[in-house]
Amino acid sequence: MNKHLEISPEVKSALENGKPVVALESTIISHGMPYPQNVETALLVEDTIRQEGAVPATIAVIGGRLKAGLTKEEIEYLGKKGTAVTKASRRDLPVLVAQKRDGATTVATTMIIAHLAGIRIFATGGVGGVHRGAETTMDISADLEELSRTPVMVVCAGAKSILDLGLTLEYLETKGVPVIGYQTSELPAFYTRVSGYKVDYRIDTPEDLAAAFNAQQEMGLKSGMLVTNPIPEEWSMDPAYINSAIDQAVEEARQKGIHGKETTPFLLAKVKNLTGGDSLKANIQLVLNNARLAARTARYLISL
């Protein structure tokens, strides 16, 4: 085992005994929501995974240790520190570990640590992607590169609709990452169930998701797999309404010169304010929906 990795007793026991485990990120705790809603949501997502018969493994860097499985106290700690915790992607890990600092893991870093721990499925809200205007800024999330190199299934509600969804799909195609629609042939756009873009394949059951990922691993293909799971119908937002808020937020970010890893937290916070908090409610529900699907898929994957 990697000497910098620390697996919680609950997660370690599950892995050793062939029980299903689902990884969870921690950026959603420190940078995605305000306190105490961030902590309440994180614990609710963990409970949802347990109710589905799997073991949750929330992932973070605490005191320079790569942690797979956090205690309630550690989740509370990250929630209270909020944005004071470094938003950690692949490039941040060496310094955070060497200097014994804290880091809230993005999709990319959660995939890395999950893979080190032997966890094959990860549930999140939405993945990063190619930002609008990337043809001049080259602002492309490290999440996409990680999907091309780390064999973990990522269950999400599609790419965040603050992104250029068409270019995001093109990038994933170039990198050989399968984009699967769960019970849909269209890429969901985080807050909404539709985007106008097609996914590579539609798969309708957790059993078939597990079989596809298992085949990918058996063939030795090194990329991850992106499973896009639409937000539940009752929480899906009106596309015109949410896209208007997103366009306004993107323009404000441009005017303020916000870029890099600060872009997504700024845009999500701005959209939340513009929608009177409705986007945050939708965000919570789609994360819970993804956690359920990931746990059900993990149960089938361990039997293969």
| DSSP collapsed to 3 states, 16-36 | HCCCCEEEECCHHHHCCCCCC
Q: Where are the domains of the chain?
A: 5-301
Rounded to whole angstroms, the Cα distance separating 258 from 253 reads 5
40, 33 contact by CB (below 8 A)? no
Note the pLDDT tens digit of each residue in 60-114. Answer: 999 999 999 999 999 999 999 999 999 999 999 999 999 999 999 999 999 999 9
Rounded to whole angstroms, the Cα distance separating 57 from 67 reads 9
Q: Is the pLDDT of residue 191 over 90?
A: no
Closest C-alpha among 154, 101, 149 to residue 127: 154
Alpha-carbon distances, residue 168 vs 148, 162, 198, 207 (angstroms): 13, 11, 12, 27
State the greatest distance between any 2 C-alpha atoms of the chain, in Å, as a whole number.
Answer: 53
Which residues does the annotation mark as catalytic?
A: 25, 160
Rounded to whole angstroms, the Cα distance separating 139 from 17 reads 42
Structure confidence at residue 260 as a pLDDT band (50, 70, 90): low
Structure confidence at residue 261 as a pLDDT band (50, 70, 90): low
Rounded to whole angstroms, the Cα distance separating 46 from 55 reads 8
The predicted model scores a pTM of 0.92
Q: In the CATH scheme, what is the homologous superfamily, with its name and number, of domain 5-301?
A: Indigoidine synthase domain (3.40.1790.10)
Q: Is the pLDDT of residue 137 over 80?
A: no
Which whole number is the average pLDDT over 20-40? 93
